[in-house]
Chains A and B, each alone.
Chain A
Amino acid sequence: MKSLIEVKNLSKSYRLGQRGFGSLRDSFHFWWKETLRKKSLVKSDEVDRSFWALRNISFKVEPGQAVGILGANGAGKSTLLKILASLTDPTEGEALLRGRLASILEVGSGFHPDLTGRENIYLNGAFLGMKRKEVTSYFDAIVQFSGNEPFIDTPVKHYSKGMYTRLAFSVAAHLSADILLLDEVLELGDVVFQKRAIDKMIERKKEGKAILFVSHDSERVQTLCDRSLNLEAGRLVFDGNMKEGMERYLTTAESSSMLNT
């Protein structure tokens, strides 16, 4: 079987420094600085520098694999998911996705407080790439999973926070995608719901989906994932089984926190 995800030499850079963001004035300012710099009137300490959020990342993910992405804050975990989710373009390299992709970087995307639970299920499902027919076929399962049956025709602004997140997660959990990207969304709701959420994802994995999971909860990552990708400052430093990856991550995290203190 072919890999569901093939990432080749993926890099993403952001511009830092004086490059004008926000207003025309900034842009003119930058352009003026650059002109002066070219005529060597000003020292070049204010030119734009590039910051590589991701550098030369390559990996493959096979069907039925759940991969945990480990790394400190700013290591590039979310950037990687954003590129795979088509939210932003890579600067170099490419990624090949075989199959439908669903990115759950937050729950309840597109939810409108004035619309009812029912209406929001359809809306959110559509934002996640589901067709109307699909939402209809999963509708009862979604509502049941959320445990919000009595309130399904109430505007979601009257929901408690727990009810809201449960409903929002339930839509995402029923996506019929082949590739799932999860960014710290299994930590929502109470303990009972979290257990159900993880079980649901393990079930998806067994169905042959590919899952990429970002979380700071080491226990949860280890429950779901059998493989780990470790990122450090935008580079892929480890690709292997979860246990080793987690050890490596914890060691580097500890040593860097020692350095900081």
Chain B
Amino acid sequence: MSETFTKIIKADKGWLSFDLKALIHYRDLLFLMVRREFVAKYKQTLLGPVWVVLQPSLMALTFVFLFSKTMKVPTDGVPPVLFYFSGILIWNFLSSALGAISVSMLHHAELCKKVYFPRIFLPISLLCSHFFSLLIQSSVLLALYLFFYFSVERPVFKMTGEIVLIPLWLFQLGLLSLGVGTWVAGLTSKYRDFHHLTALGLTVWMYASPISYSLSLVPSDWQWVVMANPVSSIILSFRSSLFGTTRVPFEMQMVSFLVCVSVCFSGVLFFNRAQRNFIDTV
């Protein structure tokens, strides 16, 4: 028996009560949950993790056919397949991680009724397993990137030092996915309405994001709509770091970053509040 494990259980702990001791104590669980998430997804599939790269690749090819070949939409001088693949990579991460996180509490309701563990590990483990998928998908992007860079006599895009900033954009993407996901998860735990709203919201959000079009195609009077969207800055910065295209204004990057940080911070707090008496209402 050691005093370090003394714990007081009482009502009303306020918004900021996080059981940090538990987070540290259960750290091994987080790793196992990520692994379970990933392994369970692809066991008993023939292609296994190939599905991870197949999905965005087919989507990128569809975009090439639809927007580039049929509608002849310009892509800022970047080879269309690279242009679309890079956008889809970011968007797919957001939509799939957010979707999974938003139902994570409900899906594990039975588990939550029976065993205590830091509930925040549900969204965090999903975030980690989606990052792992992103890593696999990035290898396809890298292969395409190097192919276009070296095979064509005069490269159509520039490789710049800004490429080192990519982890920063991905970090920002993680914050945003976790933030919006935990907000929706918290709300869904009480009101199932938000479950239906998520699918609709994601579709609208996708069209409001510069995935299949570049910012230069948006009339200048309407560019603020795209800019107000925190994902836009991430997608555009990701592309400009990769291809050396027009950089996103610093102010916009800052605003987007602050939005992501505050959404994430408030989302995690809200989730923590919502999970506390979740099993009483589920």
Contact = CB atoms under 8 A, between A and B. Distances in A.
A84 B116 CA distance: 10
B197 to A, nearest CB: 10
Nearest to A82: B279
Given A90-B10, A97-B7, A122 B32 contact: yes
B1 interface: yes
Given A89-B276, A90-B9, A95-B9, A21 B281 contact: yes
B39 A86 contact: no
B124 to A, nearest CB: 14
B193 interface: yes
B9 A83 contact: yes
A89 B1 contact: no
B117 interface: yes
Contacts of B43: 114, 155
A148 interface: no
Contacts of B25: 129, 131
A99 B10 CA distance: 17
A132 B28 CA distance: 6
A63 B36 CA distance: 36
A155 B3 CA distance: 39
Contact of B40 (A92, A97, A114): A114
Contact of B2 (A91, A99, A128): A99
A126 interface: yes
Contacts of B192: 22-23
Query: Which of B43, B112, B115 counts the most A-chain CB atoms under 10 A from its CB?
Result: B115
A97 B4 CA distance: 11
Contacts of B190: 21
A103 interface: yes
Interface in A63-112: 63, 82-101, 103, 105-106, 109-110, 112
A98 B4 CA distance: 9
Given A87-B279, A89-B11, A131-B28, A115 B39 contact: yes
A246 interface: no
Nearest to B194: A24
A221 interface: no
A233 B169 CA distance: 56
A109 B25 CA distance: 18
A87 B116 contact: yes
A232 interface: no
A98 B6 contact: yes
B112 A87 contact: yes
A4 interface: yes
Interface in B49-78: none
A127 interface: yes
A163 to B, nearest CB: 20
B277 interface: yes
Nearest to B112: A87
B44 interface: yes
A109 B114 contact: yes
Nearest to B197: A24
B168 interface: no
B178 to A, nearest CB: 22
A41 B28 CA distance: 57
Contacts of A87: 112-116, 279
A26 to B, nearest CB: 8
Nearest to B41: A114
A91 B32 contact: no
A187 B18 CA distance: 36
A92 B9 CA distance: 10
Contacts of B33: 123, 126
B29 A127 contact: yes
B191 interface: yes
Contact of B117 (A63, A90, A96, A127): A127
B271 to A, nearest CB: 16
14 contacts: A4-B1, A21-B281, A86-B7, A87-B279, A88-B279, A89-B9, A89-B276, A93-B10, A97-B7, A98-B6, A106-B115, A109-B114, A112-B40, A129-B117
Interface of B: 1-3, 5-13, 25-26, 28-29, 32-33, 36, 39-40, 43-44, 111-117, 190-193, 276-277, 279-281
Given A21-B190, A84-B9, A95-B10, 10 more contacts: A85-B115, A86-B9, A89-B9, A89-B13, A90-B10, A92-B11, A109-B115, A126-B28, A127-B117, A129-B116
